[in-house]
Structures are given as structure tokens and as C-alpha cells.
Structure 1
Amino acid sequence: MFGLIHVFCFLLIFSKLSSGSAGEGQTNITAEPGHNVSLPCRAGHDGDIASVHWIRPDLKPEDVLFCRDGRCYHSHQHPSFQNRVDLQDRQMKDGDVSLILKNLTINDTGTYECRVQRETDGDNMSIHLEVSPPGTTQDRRNQDRGDKDGGEKDGRNQNKGHLGLVVGLSAVGIVGIIGMVVGVWFYKRHEKKNSAPPPDLL
């Protein structure tokens, strides 16, 4: 039994670490509408990269940009990215296959995947882009912080209410028990007094 508990604890810790590392592998970028942005992706070395495929899985078609041998192809590209995307360096020097996305709109918000195919293997990177008007991101953060603080306060008040209820019920219970004990004591004393033999008459 003790061994099973150890195994369960190990699996729980391992799953937490695994989920944490997966979340840390994603890059988050915030930008404003109308601006240009570079989504970073670097893998391999000079001449080592066969192709790079940028996609957004939530779109159909999902293709953002596909490039191979220094040439980019647009036949399957999603219409919203036409004439708005390019590689930062089409020669992919030093393994740089970062994506330049021009004239941003709010609809560009989403998670982008950079899929690099090398001669021997491949690599994937994930970048989440948040496009929002100036101040919106900070306002959202403040609102989220306020909601969190309000939730914590509500939780604390609710906990205080529960604590007061428990204390009140406990006090009532204790008083009730004391009352029962005193009542039984008086009752037995009264019974004992009534059952005593009458004093002898002189």
C-alpha cells in the first residue's frame, strides 16, 4: 500500500512537470493593429533547412506561408495572408525562418506554428500572437486582476461566513449538552429526594 502511494505521488508530480514544460515552449507576442510584427523561429544552420511551413491550425486552409529552396509558394495560402507575409530572410541564414506579418488586424490574433524540415529531421515551434488596440491588453489585465481580487475577497468572505456558522452551531451544541447534563442532574436529585424514606415519627 505504501509503495502504491509513492507511485501515485510520482506520477502526479511528473504530469505537473510535463504540463508546465509544454506551456513554457510557446512564445507569446502582443502587437497593435496596423503595425508589422516578426514571429521568431530559428532552427538548423546554413544549408541545413529543406523547407519551412508556417500555419495557423484554426484556419481553413491553415497555410500562412510555405517556402523551400529560397522560394515561397502561395497556391494553398489562406486568403487573409496574401501579400502580407514573408520570411525575414529567404536565404534562411543561420537557420532564421522568422515570419514577417504586415499591416496587422485583430483577426490575426491566434496561434501560429513554425514547422521546419531539415535534411535529417524536423522541428516545430508555436507562437501565440495577440493583436489588440492600444491599452486594451493592459485594461484586460487590470480587469482580470480585479476579477481575481474580487473572487479572492468573495472566497474569503464566504469562508468567514462558513467559519461563523460552524462556531455558532458548535456553541449551540455545547450549550445544549450542558443543559441536558444539568437537567439530568436535577432530575436525579429530585427523584432521589422523593424516594427517601420518611423520617420516623417520635
Structure 2
Amino acid sequence: MSLQLNVPLAEKEHAISRGAQWDHIAQTWFLPEEQYDRLMDVDQWIPERNPAIILPNEITIVHANRPCWKCQHDNRVIAIAGNYFYEKDINERDESVWMEQDFFTLFQQISVISGNLASFLKDHYPHFRLGLAPNTTQQYWFNHCAVCNATQGDWFLFDEAGSVFNPIEKEAATKLLLRNFNLKYAPLIDAVYCLGDHLRLINEFAERAETSGENT
């Protein structure tokens, strides 16, 4: 995967010295994955505000069906997943670092999404969009009911044992569908994730569709 960068013209030579490359077709700067050990060198040119996670350019969308808590319409709900990703954190020397995390997980409480991923979601999953968290002024990316527009909260989809994205049995995991999509550049998000046996069940037993072609 390659990470898109926002390099001002005046900083071009500085960015090149730190590993940035120019995509003549897309007319944008990027850092190729083989140079991700230099992520901190180009951190100032990562375009999104406060991104915490860099996903692979082949993203995984998990599909499930769940009735709306308000109107009982049977909705398709989704979760963004990653087989591996890079996470910004603080090391033992109190320094900011990008660390590779090599495991499968689902992301929730997503507060920031890069422009390329937002465009992809708008085109393919328009009912997954920004909404207010209950009793707060904080906005997150939530599933919404296709009929009554009610927010389908993350707790009922992810956190409650036995919910659609937290299966406790193999049979429940087999009802999920994993679909991969290729984006030209790696998407960024700010979100939380978890570990647990339910993720193993999803990764092992969910149905898998063929990978779809590249999207910008």
C-alpha cells in the first residue's frame, strides 16, 4: 500500500529527502509501503487531522443484517476491518511512533476518516455516515436505518456479546460476509479496536467474496 501525502511546493525537496515520491498520473505525493519505516519522517505531510490508524489499501468491509431497534426494518449494517494496520502511539521514550499491528480486527467509534475512504463509503454504503453519539456533541461514523434513519449504535452491533459483530458461535460468524475493496491509496481513520475470540470466529468462518477492483 502507498500513503498519500500533502506536500506544499516549497517543501518538495525536503519531502523527497524523506522518502516521498510523486505520482505523475494522480498528481499527488505519496510514501510507498516499502518505506513505511519512514512514516514519522513524513508525518507532517499526512493530510488528515489527527489520524491514528493507517489501513491497507485493500480494505475489508464486514456485512451483516440486523433489524432496526426503532422501526424493525431489516438493515444491512457494516463494519470496517483490517488484517493488519499501522497505529500511531507513544513508545517507552515518550516519542510518537507508527507501529505495525499484524492481526485481524474490527474498528468502531470512528471519528476521523480520510477523504478517499469517505468517498468510497458514500458511493457504496451511504447509510454508514457521521452521526451524533447519544447524549454527547461528539460525531462518529455510524450505521443508520435505511427507513427511519435512526442511528444503529456501536454498542448493540459490536460490544454486546452475541451481537452481529461479536459472535460467540461459529454458526453466527458464518452469517457474516467479508468483502475486500482496493483503494489507490491507504485510507486513514481514528478509531478504537479490540481483541477477542469473536474476531477469530469472524476471520475463520465468515463468508468471503471476491476482491473488487480499484477505487480512487
- The alignment's TM-score, normalised by the length of structure 1, stands at 0.24
Which structure has greater helix proportion? 1
Choose 1 or 2 for highest CA Rg: 1
Q: TM-score scaled to structure 2, two decimals?
A: 0.23
* Larger strand percent: 2
